[in-house]
Each structure stands twice: as structure tokens, then as C-alpha cells.
Structure 1
Amino acid sequence: MESEEFRLPRSRLANERLHAMVPGGAHTYAKGDDQYPEDLAPVISHGHGAHVWDVDGNRYVEYGSGLRSVSLGHAHPRVLEAVRRELERGSNFVRPSIVEVEAAERFLATVPTAEMVKFAKNGSDATTAAVRLARAVTGRPRVAVCGDQPFFSVDDWFIATTPMSAGVPAATTGLTVSFPHGDLAATEELLDRYRDEVACLVLEPVGPDEPCAGSPPHPGSGNSASRYLTGLRELADRHGCVLVFDEMITGLRWSEAGAQGLYGVVPDLSTFGKALGNGFAVSALAGRRELMERGGLRHRGERVFLLSTTHGAETHSLAAATAVLRTYVEEGITARLHALGARLAAGVRSAASAMGVGDHLLVRGRASNLVFATLDEHLRPSQEYRTLFLRQLLAGGVLAPSFVVSSALSDADIDHTVDVVARACAVYRKALDAQDPGPWLGGRPVKPVFRRSA
């Protein structure tokens, strides 16, 4: 079989070296080699645009670049130009740089629903700062998180809710509760049960089954999402909670102003990252002035230790963010992401249907943020069939833990991807007919990130 002939000897050795020094073999669990077929986890040498090369010399069309962070493509010229300019001027000083002023102004102009912003280096710090601020302004201890969504922070208040909660004190675990996305009645019941105890509602502003759009969104679109978020806004106001939108994924991809800009519902606080830096480390906590000022110097209340990071305002990362924001607005990047994703989704669905696996290989999500699901012969989610599918994609030169597009993709890249998907679906059909994907796995199946044991 083609996938069995595909080998990555140098990547395999590099992975062994990583595991000897780095717990998990990667600095992000979602990049671990357990997420890929056995001995087929490429170690990347470099990337350009929508392509990456591994240390074995193979070139891939890449999706989900940098866990959705590189939405303009690798080594984007406008971003690199801005970064190079600042590198030659120094990256960190004992006082704020004028670049911080410019980046804040550009961010708030792009996300007009926010009144103040503070930058950091990663999403976890920004979202945890939002939680701390909410607890401070409400005087309440509990955090309510959307239980249908996979990740908000590496900090204890969230990790307590996952199967990997080792090391989190039980007292902390009890302070985080969950509510289901889209169910206002259940959320109100939760708020009634913990009346005057819940400081904030934290969620990605879109649900797990966000429909795949075939055209760019526009303000006010997505009536169902708008109604739900409006209802959640009213619930938060009625119960005195802070409403926090985690826009790490939706920021820029849904609209330049994120999902809040698309659906017209204004949160009290929101957090941005990923696409904001096109791979450079930058995140943002944004929100209402009344709340954000509690972390500042121009109020008379008790001070909140909001965000204070040595590298939070590195000039080159903020220059990258400013360039990204300008590029999105001036070049219509969000619309391009939707158009590319719509083309890809249609092609994959057509290929899967033609090979008789249209009910087993599913494409889900908004066009700018596509994922795929692999189902077995009984239409149950299957890590084994995911492994089979990933092996075939890798052998065909497609690196795709998801189908999240970057604007650097060309029509030819997508056509190539669809061709590879079609060949993978032919193998998928054989495995379904045999009711056994085992002969096509090449080793152990891929594993979920959050699990209790290694």
C-alpha cells in the first residue's frame, strides 16, 4: 500500500531526540507525535506560504498552520517587513515603546466593540486575566465555562475540568462549573443554582456545530448564533456576571472584529490570539473601559493584577500584529479564507461521496475553520479511521490535522488536496468493506490530546 511505502526516517530520529529532552516530544500537546500515525509525524524544516518541508525533504500542503495561528501563510512579506524593521530598533525597553501605542490604536480600530486592550504572549494568560478581573469586579469565586468547547487555558481553573487534572487542588476544581452551548435554560438553571456565586461566563462565541458557510459572513448574519448570544448577554446582565468571549479562533477568521463583530453582541471582555500575530507570539485581552481600568492606575478601587509580562509588548510581535490587522482589512483576508474553505469543503465532500464514504468522512465548521470527522462502519467517531485517513494524506503530500485554511493557499493547492482526499477515500472504502481498518493503520491509532494516562 502507498502509505506503507511512505517513510520519515529523519523525522523519526528527530522525534526521538525531542522525547529525550522535551516532555511529550513537543511544546504543545496538540503537536505531539501521538496525534499522528505511528512513525509518520513529520518534523518541520521550514515553511513558505501554504507549504512546509520536513527534515526528510518532503513538501506538504499544510492546513491548520501553527494550530490556526498562521492564517496569512508562512513568512508573509508584509508581516516580515514590519518585524525586520523593529528588530533593528530593539525589541524590549524599560518603558513602553511607541509601537505599543500604534498596536493598541490599530487593534481598537479593528475591534470597535472593545474600549481598552492589553497585550500578552499567549491565550492562556489573556483568558486567565479575564477570569481574575471578573472575580475581582464581582467579588464572586466561581467560573462557568462552556463545557462543549475543548480549551481555554493551561491554568488550574480550566485544566481542572479536563481528564488531565493531575496536580490541580480539589478546592480549585470545585470553583469551575460548566454550561452547555446553545441552551439558555440550562445556563439559567446553573446561575440560579449558584446564585450570586458565578463571576463570569466564558465561551467561544460559536458552537461545536457551527455551519459551514459557502460565502463570506456579514454583520448580523447567523441569526441563530446572534439570538443565542443575545440571550446569553441578557442572562449575564440579569445575574450580574461578566460575559467573556474567547475569540482565539474566531478573531479575524469570522470577521476582522471577530464573532462579536459578526453577530453584533458585545461581551464585557474578550481575548484574541492565534491569527493576530500570524505565528508571532501575541495575544490580547480587550473589553469595557470600566472593567479594564481596574487593572490600571486611574481608578480609586482595589487594584487588580491584570497582566504584567516582561515580553508582552515585544516590539516585533506587536509590529507583526499591526501588520496582520492592516492586511486583513486592506486585502479582504476574511472573505478569502471563506472562499478557499468553501471550495475545499465542496471538493472533499464530492470526493468522499464519489468513493462511497460520504457518510463516514464529514467536513464540519465555518468555511474559514474547517475540521473533519472520521466515522466507522457503524457511524461512530473512530480514531482508527482517522489514523488511516491521515496516513493517506501524508503519503500524498498533505499535512492536515484539520482542514483549516490559510489565505496563502492557491486553487491548485486545494485541487491537489481534493485529489489526495479522493485516493484516501478509496482506501477508506476498502477498510469499511472489510469492517477492519487495521491493515491500513501501520501501527497504533492516533490518540486524543486530553486523556488521563499516556
Structure 2
Amino acid sequence: MTKSFSNSVKANDRLCAAVPGGAHTYAKGEDQYPAEMAPVISHGLGAHVWDVDGNEYIEYGSGLRAVSLGHAHPRVLEAVRRELDRGTNFVRPSIIEVEAAERFLEAVPTADMVKFTKNGSDATTAAVKLARAVTGRPLVALCADHAFFSIDDWFIARTPMSAGIPDQIADLTVAFPYGDLAATEELLTRHEGQIACLILEPATQQDPPAGYLEGLRDLAHRHGAVLIFDETITGFRFSAAGAQGLYGVTPDLSSFGKALGNGFAVSALAGKRDLMERGGLRDERERVFLLSTTHGAETHALAAAVAVMDVYAEEGIVERLHAVGESLAAGVREVAASAGVEDHVVVRGRASNLVFATLDENLEPSQSYRTLFLRELILGGVIGPSFVVSAALTEEDIARTVDVVGQACVMYRKALDAGDPSPWTGGRPVKPVFRRYA
């Protein structure tokens, strides 16, 4: 399999010269891909993308889980084009703001009010600020087992990339383990009266333990804390109403994003009226400067969100995502077993939100083996940091992907037998996003 990446290499050099990190999201950086094999995308359609060298790929993890309907979805584009002709931003709210809000609250009936913004970090940070305001407490308790909540100081202070954040900020964030109510209760007791909120993704790779989310809600409320679900990923992927709709546990506040706009920039803070009104105009309590963004309600992004919600409701998109994911997972597991690497190339997660693990000879996560695997996929015309599916994937796409994965697994077996993947990595290994030095 021969591919040229010369134009992408040049484009990456230009990106790194002009843009810190060479991308506007660290997870899209060239360090996340094999050396000189980080395609720079020209365009996409459905579940396929093309790079600036003209290489075509079946794409997974579209837009870091944002493009769940596929690229250039006709109904979304039609709605956006229609709204663009009407103007994009005004000195007062557009009527589409209330239409989008009401449509969102239909899709997410566990919420009473919603406020739109541009990215998930804004929404989660607004939720944290609101929780601190209503409780009068300083500490934020976040789930230590979940990878990312916000670009803001309250979260980044606890990562290896905490440069520029005073230590005092890090001291205001504590952590609890997922699925362990006893440990969380111990944390709340140890910091009695100091923890404003518990924030977590309600589910990631596995379903939550039976009774866990209910128990966490009750525990938070018993200790006077606000429960926040980060549904940035799970919203409109686990169900239209997110994990809270799937598992039947309503948080006090929640953030939505990613799939809400099918790639257009729109996210949301949603929650109970008593809390959300603290950022409003019809409440007598001290006000919270909740969310106030010039571009938070751009009309074309809200039109995209309305179209996405309509497509989800009318076309059974959640069911489609699960069916496609189940087909892919079954195929990958079969070819991995055939190559004798089923314990090393592992598919995990809910069918609509699949990831893959690449394990070494000792069954430990390996960046070098991940590099080998990604390299073989890219050479075979498949790209993605995960196996997160879109509804645009066809049976032919899945069959082709499974075939490419099968070929990659054969190479993986060779590397395992040799005890060294480096002859098959093409250079330096891919890097973790959170690291102190480049």
C-alpha cells in the first residue's frame, strides 16, 4: 500500500509555524498520528474524507465525535443556508433562539431551561460557577477517571499541562473515583460543607454500575452539593437526551455539545429552573454572570442544531449509530482473533461510542503499538483516533474497515512475535495529549 503524504507534511509545517500545536484542538495535533502520516483534510462527504494529497479515507471519530450524521448532511446544510440569508447575529435575540431552546427542551425533557454557547468548556465552567454561587462553597469535585472536562483553570490545573495556573487554583479541585460511592462519601465527609459540586461523565466505556448514578445523586444532595453531568459526548449519542435519558437519573445541571450541531459550533448548559434562573432576569436572588457570549447564539449554528434534533427524532439516528457500531465491533473482534491478537487489539465502549486499545506483550497500553496500528489503518484508507461511528457509514464502509483492520492485525502479530513494534511504526511513537513537555 503506497500513499503520498508530501502535501500534508508541508501543510503541517505551515500549521505549526502559524498555529501553536499545529491544530486548534490538541487531540488533532500531528503528534497524535504516525510520523509524517498526519493527513491534513481537504474536504469530507458522509463518512469519507479526502486529504490535501488526494488520499481518500473512511473516517471514524468524526470531528472528535461531533459529526454523528456524517459530513455535509443535506438537511443540516439546507437549514444553515436558509438561516444565513436571514443574517447571523443581531443586537437583540433572534426568534430562532427561542425555537432552538424549546426544541432542545423537547429532546431533553429532564431539563427545565437551556442556554447555548460555542463549546463544551464554556458550558461545564458555567455549571461549576453556578454551583459555587448557589452553594457558597469553593471546592469542585471531578471524576478522576474521565479524561477531559474543560480548557479552564479549574480542570487543567490538575493535568500535567498546568503551566500558567497558580497552585491555589489546583487546590480548589478535588477528585473522586467513578463507580465508588463509598470513596466519594468519604471525600464529601472529609471536606464537609466545602464541595460545591460533583461533575462527571455519567457513562463512558461501560454502563454505570447498577444504582451508581442514583446513589451519587442522593449522596450529592445529602451533602448539599450540586450534581453535574458532562453530556458533551453522551448527549445525542447514547440517546437524544444523553445518558440521563438512557439511565433515568436527572442531574441538577448538565452540558451538551459535540453531536448537537453535527460539526457546527453549538453547545448547551441545561438544568433545573431554580438553578438556571440565578443567571436570569426574573429572580430576586443575587445574580450569577452565567454565560454571555457574542457568538453563543449565532443563528446558523442554532439552525443546524434544530435540524440535527429533527433528523435524530425522525430517522432513528441513535438506533442507527448503535447498529453500525455493533457491526463494526463484531467484525474487528473476529479479525483480531483470527490474527491471534484479540487480547492486544481490544474494542471497548458502547456501540455508538467505540474506542480501541492497543496493548503490548504484557497487555499494557502501548503508544508504540498504537502507532503501528494507526499507520496500517491510514495506509489502508481508514483514519480515526477511535472507532466512534457516524450514521453515514455504509455496510460497504464497515466491511472495508474490517478488512483493513484484519491486515493491520497481521502486522501487529508480527510485531508481538518479534517483541518490538519499532520496525513497523515508521518513526517516533504517537504521544499522549496531556504531557508536560512537547
Give the TM-score of the pair, scaled to structure 1. Answer: 0.96
SS in 2 for 1:46: strand
Matched-pair identity in %: 74
Distance 1:124 1:445 in 2: 29
Correspondent of 2:259 among 275, 287, 292: 275
SS in 2 for 1:10: helix
1:330 paired to 2:314:
yes
Correspondent of 1:364 among 348, 363, 383: 348
SS in 1 for 2:188: helix
Give the superposition deviation at 1:66.
0.3
Partner AA of 1:162 in structure 2: T
1:265 paired to 2:262:
no
The residue aligned with 2:93 is 96
Correspondent of 2:182 among 171, 185, 189: 185
* Deviation per residue, 1:121-174 (Å, 9 max, x gap): 000001000000000000000000000000000000000111100011111010
Give the superposition deviation at 1:377.
1.1
The residue aligned with 1:448 is 432
Runs of 4+ with deviation above 4 angstroms? none
Correspondent of 1:253 among 237, 240, 243: 237
Distance 1:352 1:281 in 2: 37
1:137 paired to 2:134:
yes
Structure 1: unaligned runs, 5 residues or longer? 211-221
Give the superposition deviation at 1:397.
0.3
Residue pairs, 1:37-436, within 5 angstroms: 37-207=34-204, 209-210=205-206, 224-225=208-209, 227-436=211-420
SS in 2 for 1:75: coil
* Deviation per residue, 1:336-365 (Å, 9 max, x gap): 000000000000000000001011000000
Distance 1:270 1:380 in 2: 34
SS in 1 for 2:141: strand
1:8 paired to 2:14:
no
Distance 2:335 2:61 in 1: 21
Give the superposition deviation at 1:7.
3.0
**Alpha-carbon contact 2:3-2:55 (below 8 Å) kept:** no
Distance 1:108 1:185 in 2: 34
**Alpha-carbon contact 1:226-1:263 (below 8 Å) kept:** no
* Deviation per residue, 1:199-258 (Å, 9 max, x gap): 000000014x41xxxxxxxxxxx5x54510000010011000000000000001111110
Partner AA of 1:230 in structure 2: E
**Alpha-carbon contact 1:372-1:402 (below 8 Å) kept:** yes
* Deviation per residue, 1:53-108 (Å, 9 max, x gap): 00000000000000000000000011001000000000000000000011001000
SS in 2 for 1:118: strand
Distance 1:353 1:284 in 2: 42
SS in 2 for 1:187: helix
Partner AA of 2:405 in structure 1: V
Across the aligned residues of Structure 1 and Structure 2, the Cα RMSD in angstroms comes to: 0.8
Distance 1:298 1:406 in 2: 41
Distance 1:96 1:137 in 2: 27
1:29 paired to 2:26:
yes
Aligned length: 438
SS in 1 for 2:193: coil
Partner AA of 1:253 in structure 2: R
**Alpha-carbon contact 2:70-2:391 (below 8 Å) kept:** yes
Give the superposition deviation at 1:378.
1.2
Structure 2: unaligned runs, 5 residues or longer? none
Give the superposition deviation at 1:400.
1.8
Give the superposition deviation at 1:6.
3.3
**Alpha-carbon contact 1:143-1:200 (below 8 Å) kept:** yes
* Deviation per residue, 1:8-56 (Å, 9 max, x gap): 0000000000001100100000000000000000000000000000000
Partner AA of 1:375 in structure 2: L
SS in 2 for 1:164: coil
Change (3 A) 1:236 1:106: same
**Alpha-carbon contact 1:226-1:265 (below 8 Å) kept:** no
Distance 2:348 2:337 in 1: 15
Give the superposition deviation at 1:370.
0.2
Distance 1:331 1:108 in 2: 19
**Alpha-carbon contact 1:206-1:225 (below 8 Å) kept:** no
Distance 1:327 1:33 in 2: 34
Distance 2:353 2:268 in 1: 20
Partner AA of 2:347 in structure 1: V
Distance 1:342 1:118 in 2: 34
